[in-house]
Amino acid sequence: MAFKLNISVSFICLMVLVLATGSYGGGISIYWGQNGNEGTLAETCATGNYEYVNIAFLATFGNGQTPMINLAGHCDPYSNGCTGLSSDIKSCQAKGVKVILSIGGGASSYSLSSSDDARQVAMYLWNNFLGGTSSSRPLGPAVLDGIDFDIEGGTGEHWDDLAKYLSGYSKKGKKVYLTAAPQCPFPDAWVGNALKTGLFDYVWVQFYNNPPCQYSSADIANLEDAWKQWTSDIPATKIFLGLPAAPDAAGSGFIPVNDLTSEVLPAIKNSSKYGGVMLWSKYYDDQSGYSSSIKSHV
């Protein structure tokens, strides 16, 4: 009897430990696709460092434009050259990595002219990248896990409509994850309204190229204040700390590994909405080894 009791107590302790770690453990999200020298998508997932990979970018869409994906030196979409990525996507998903298509980007041509335009774009994304069907799927037959809103230009109009239409497709079977990469000044100028819908699963906030709310020279106050605002005001499942993976990856906002692990992460991980760290990008992470250095702390 005593033996059984000990087993039960040990089991309960183990469960408590698992739950406690699960509450605060986070994952790493990476952007891949904007540098042909960053390795393949399959190699990216094989590192075991990432839980989410954002394929960047569907750079042209909306307002009557023919949608076009741009994956830099990885493949040529104009000759259907990116369909071979389908096996890589499936390889990632088999490892438990969520593969998400990022739409937008910093230097692209996109906007939504109306709610109906948003509906058309959602339909295009569903049929060409998600669970729908199309004769011209740019990345082949693999079904991606969701859509990332990396909207950094144009207007802030109708992104909430796009989120609602995309979310509606979850009812057709496989869940469509919605993620976003807003800038850290709150609220975000482009996707601020969309984020209020509460439809987003993961929000990786860009705490770089934004001096008023990013970390600088051992001063965590600005970042911490912005983090608290994001985690308290945005109804998302998880919020991520978005960072450059190397000093050259952004104009400002890089956090040295020691500062991140000893100061920044301990200050933000107590939030129940803490999801982990997002890095821009795989190419820079290859140069710095940043994800490998922080993985056990995230």
CATH of the domain at 264: 3.20.20.80
Q: Are 174 and 131 in contact (CB under 8 A)?
A: yes
Could you say which of 38, 51, 152, 263 is catalytic?
Answer: 152
DSSP assignments along 202-235, one per residue: EEEEE-SS-GGGS-BTTB-HHHHHHHHHHHHH--
Is the residue at 55 inside a domain?
Answer: yes
Active site residue 157: no
Whether residue 117 is contained in a domain is answered as yes
Query: Phi, psi at residue 117, to the nearest 5°?
Result: -60, -40
Whether residue 11 lies inside any domain: the answer is: no
Establish if 18 belongs to a structural domain.
no
Q: Yes or no: say if 241 and 184 are a contact pair by the CB < 8 Å rule.
A: no
Q: CA angle, corner 129, sides to 242 and 66, nearest 5?
A: 95
Q: Say what the pLDDT of residue 11 is.
A: 45
CB distance 214 to 207 below 8 Å: yes
Domain that holds residue 271: 25-295
Indicate whether 6 belongs to any domain.
no
Residue 39 lies in a domain: yes
Residue 88 lies in a domain: yes
Let me know if residue 100 belongs to a domain. yes
The count of other CB atoms within 10 Å of the CB of residue 179 is 27
Question: What is the chain's pLDDT, residue by residue, as a tens digit (298 residues)?
Answer: 443 444 444 444 444 444 444 445 899 999 999 999 999 999 999 999 999 999 999 999 999 999 999 999 999 999 999 999 999 999 999 999 999 999 999 987 999 999 999 999 999 999 999 999 999 999 999 999 999 999 999 899 999 999 999 999 999 989 999 999 999 999 999 999 999 999 999 999 999 999 999 999 889 999 999 999 999 999 999 999 999 999 999 999 999 999 999 999 999 999 999 999 999 999 999 999 999 999 999 9
**What is the three-class DSSP state of 269?**
coil
Rounded to two decimals, what is the model's pTM?
0.92
**Residue 191 has what DSSP assignment?**
T
Domains: count for the chain: 1
Give the type of residue at 196.
K
